[in-house]
Structure 1
Amino acid sequence: MPWWKLPISAEPYRYTLFLLLSLPLGIWSLMDRGSAQRRVAFALLARTPALSRWRGLAAVPLDLVSLAVAGYCWLGVVLNLAYPARPLLGMNGDYADAWGGPTLAGAWAVHALGGVAFWLAVSWMLRGYVALWRRITGY
């Protein structure tokens, strides 16, 4: 897949959903020997991993890190693209000293460029986290 097609494909969004579900399913794998995690991985990643009770649990630290990184990146995308809505979220609405300020149009333009950059980067980071998850769980 060309580098520019990845963010507009369904892959990063499936990977985000999988990484969100992977943490509770990794903990639940102690109870069901990884069968729920195996079903979710098959549905979202189109492959069945060789999970066991301990392999699912071994991926939990990676799940915590990937959840924090993906959450931060997706939050960066949303907050930068919706820059004028920041006061509605309780954030500072003063754009006189913001990047691209002193006008709202300039501040929004600069922050929107940052949001698009985050959007492009998060797709590739999620791909890397899922590849590492596959290695840990014996894909």
Structure 2
Amino acid sequence: MRWWKLPLSGAPYRQTLFLLLSLPLAVWSLFDHGTLQRRSATLLLSHTPAFSRIRGLTAVPLDGVSLVVVGYCWLGVILNVAYPARPLFGLSGEYRASWGGPTLAGAWSVHALGGIALWLLIPWMLRGYVALWRRIAGS
């Protein structure tokens, strides 16, 4: 797949959903032997892992790190593309001293370019986390 088509496909968004759900599913694998995690991996990643209780728990550190990194990156995309809406998120709406200032148009354009660049990079980062998760899951 070409590098610019990956953010437009559905794969990064399914991978994001799986990585956000993987920590609670890994903990839940103690009770159901990884059945729910196996089903969600099959549905969202098109991959059926050979999971057990032990493998579900060994993925917990990766799941915790990926939850933080993925959440931070997608939040960065949203906050930069929707720069004028920052006060709605409790952030400073002052644009005169920010990058691209002293006008709102300049600050918004600079931040939007950063958000779009991050949006293009996130799918490749997600592929790495999912590949590592598949490795732990025993594919």
Q: Would the TM-score normalized by the shorter structure come out above 0.5? A: yes
> Shift of the alpha carbon at 1:20?
1.0
Q: Distance in 2 between matches of 1:125 and 1:131?
A: 10
TM-score, normalization by structure 2: 0.98
TM-score, normalization by structure 1: 0.98
Q: Distance in 2 between matches of 1:88 and 1:28?
A: 35
Structure 1, unpaired ranges of 5+ = none
- State the match for 1:31 in structure 2: 31
- The reply on whether 1:111 has 2:111 as its aligned counterpart is yes
- State the match for 1:102 in structure 2: 102
How large is the Cα RMSD of the aligned pairs?
A: 0.7
Q: Distance in 2 between matches of 1:90 and 1:28?
A: 34
Paired residue type of 1:20: L
**Secondary structure in structure 2 of the residue aligned to 1:7:** helix
- State the match for 1:88 in structure 2: 88
- State the match for 1:64 in structure 2: 64
Identity of aligned residues (%): 72
> Shift of the alpha carbon at 1:88?
2.0
> Shift of the alpha carbon at 1:114?
0.6
**Secondary structure in structure 1 of the residue aligned to 2:87:** helix
Structure 1 segments of 4+ aligned residues over 6 angstroms from their partners: none
Q: Deviations over 1:63-87 (max 9, x none)?
A: 0000100001000000000000111
Aligned length in residues: 139
